[in-house]
Amino acid sequence: MHRIACSIATPATLLAAVAALAGCGSAAPNNGGVAQTLQGKYVSVVNGVSPSVVLIQTPQALGSGVVFDTHGDVVTNAHVVAGATRLSVTLNGGKQVAATLVGTDASTDLAVVRMAGATPPPATFADSSKISVGDIALAIGNPLGLHASVTEGIVSSLDRSVSEGNGVTLTSAIQTSAAINPGNSGGALVDLSGQVIGVPTLAALDPQLGNSQASGIGFAISSNQVKTVAARILAGG
């Protein structure tokens, strides 16, 4: 913390120095300006990342996806596309295109789908080993089908091991306080540099509240794991 000091040479000058303290106060931080700067950063990140986040629909489910490369490949959760024989993707601008399933990795709950005739800009995936607890995080996706919605929170914890309840356990998961609702699955958890740090996958359930969703406790697959698994799927592994 940078301190701005007001020098007091001798006790004889104490009264004058106290009277002059208001002048020192003029160097206090402009909190309104800080808030405006942070707000502008949020807006910039959302505007930059949203074109790379899509809505994925199947006859059985609705979820989100993140554009992975320049070939129209989209990474999402395997449970979003499980059992689907028909896929459609809605881009950020509202255009709907058909898609095919490239492959899935059930053990990590990740999948890749390929859009037909559409190549929106790919997201930038961060090195998730460099994120810290307390980092601001924004979740961008399609909760409850509300296209391109944004929730805000922080990175609450790292390297969580979380059971999905279907035989799949997420390892090295990122816990976040950004709200994760049905339809957010497969979307983007991003930092303030606009890079994807994880793929939101599930929210914690509170058994004391009849297994209803626990507020402020969501989990995302780390971007490093997403990059590794998606590359393996695209390579035919």
Residues 237 and 230: their CA atoms lie apart, in Å, by 10
Residues 82-104 as b/e (b if ≥16 CB within 10 A, e otherwise) read bebeebbbbbbeeeebebebbbb
User: Which residues lie across from 53 on neighbouring strands?
Assistant: 66
Catalytic residue (one of 50, 52, 64, 185) = 185
Catalytic residue among 109, 156, 191, 223: 109
Question: Is residue 109 annotated as part of the catalytic site, yes or no?
Answer: yes
With CA atoms as reference, report the closest residue to 160 among 176, 171, 145, 146: 171
69 is annotated as an active-site residue? no
- Indicate the burial class of 41 (C-beta count within 10 angstroms; 0-12, 13-18, 19 or more): middle
Q: Is 71 a catalytic residue?
A: no
User: Of the listed 50, 52, 79, 156, which one is catalytic?
Assistant: 79
Active site residue ranges: 79, 109, 185
